[in-house]
Amino acid sequence: MVNGTLLPYYTLTGPAPAPVTTAGTVYTNCVVPGTYSISYDDGPSAYTHELLDLLDKEQIKVTFFVNGNNDGCIYDPTVRSVIKRAYESGHQIASHTWSHPQLTTLTVDQITLQMKRVEQALLDILGIVPRYMRPPYGDGTFGNGNANDVKVQSTLKSLGYVIATWDIATTDADIDDNNPVHKLTDDALAKVERGVVTSAVSAAPAGANHMQLMHDTYQRTVRQLSPWSITYIKGLNYKIVPVAACLGDTDPRNWYQTLTTPSANLPTTCTK
């Protein structure tokens, strides 16, 4: 049962089915035949409303892995309103931690705080607590020399979180590091990103179910990569759905936990 307000987009009758995903397990690919999920990390940002307009026009639902204090502060009225709009439009709201740290560098208590602060904010804004999360950088799940970090995964499990990463990273966020593509124009970067997606899809078996990672913190992602991706994926006859739905949790009540009360004594601003 979703605590707080029910999702206005969905008609929810009868009891929710049992979730098919498991807390603490790492999922990298969709499993429901014919599905392909696209998801957006690190926001909301100043570009998220424009993205929501696009998703409305295309009539598709996606997953937003939101931060508490990263591109913006989740307690800022404009950030609150865009999260509310995304949720009420039927998109899945999931956690990407409070401040986007590498979780393998933190203690269990610090990881817990990273999750609880987002829970507190989303309880306040939406009346829900996510059941799905994505570790920043995928840290603790693979790569970075920190594959399958037991501390990270067991802590997230104890907090009730399904860990959803990706199998196609579009590289749209690489503009912030030392990747040589940064010297290119937005058009050229978008071309690189399109190439990453088409190469990954072509390299996989036909009909493979992908989880594609993007970031709604880039104007280029909203204006170029997203519309192109949606057309491309639809052209391959996939159905674009939120991450949870492509893993088999098609009832949105299973996208959220049953927690109803925030943790005590957590700050409710981004300055602490």
Which chain residues interact with Zn ion by CB under 5 A?
41-42, 136
**Nearest to Zn ion of 136, 252 (CB atom):** 136
Please, which residues have CB within 8 angstroms of residue 127's CB and are 6 or more apart in sequence? 2, 3, 4, 5
**Nearest to Zn ion of 165, 254 (CB atom):** 165
**Nearest to Zn ion of 7, 214 (CB atom):** 214
Cβ at position 100, least distance to Zn ion in Å: 6
Q: How far apart are CA 51 and CA 63, in angstroms?
A: 12
Q: How far apart are CA 99 and CA 42, in angstroms?
A: 9
Number of Cβ within 10 Å of residue 56's Cβ equals 12
Active site members? 41, 215
Residue nearest to Zn ion (CB): 41
Structure-block tokens of residue 39: 């998801």
- Asked if 170 and 196 count as a contact pair (C-beta separation under 8 A), the reply is yes
**DSSP label of 137:** G
Listed in sequence order, the DSSP H helices in the chain are 48-58, 77-88, 108-125, 150-158, 186-203, 219-220, 226-235, 243-246
Cβ at position 57, least distance to Zn ion in Å: 26
- Asked if 118 and 66 count as a contact pair (C-beta separation under 8 A), the reply is yes
**Nearest to Zn ion of 68, 136 (CB atom):** 136
Cβ at position 209, least distance to Zn ion in Å: 22
- Asked if 141 and 135 count as a contact pair (C-beta separation under 8 A), the reply is yes
Structure-block tokens of residue 59: 């009539």
Residue 125 vs residues 80, 165, 219: alpha-carbon distances, Å? 6, 25, 25
Cβ at position 20, least distance to Zn ion in Å: 26
Match 């159905």 to its residue by tokens.
239
Cβ at position 110, least distance to Zn ion in Å: 17
**Nearest to Zn ion of 27, 238 (CB atom):** 27
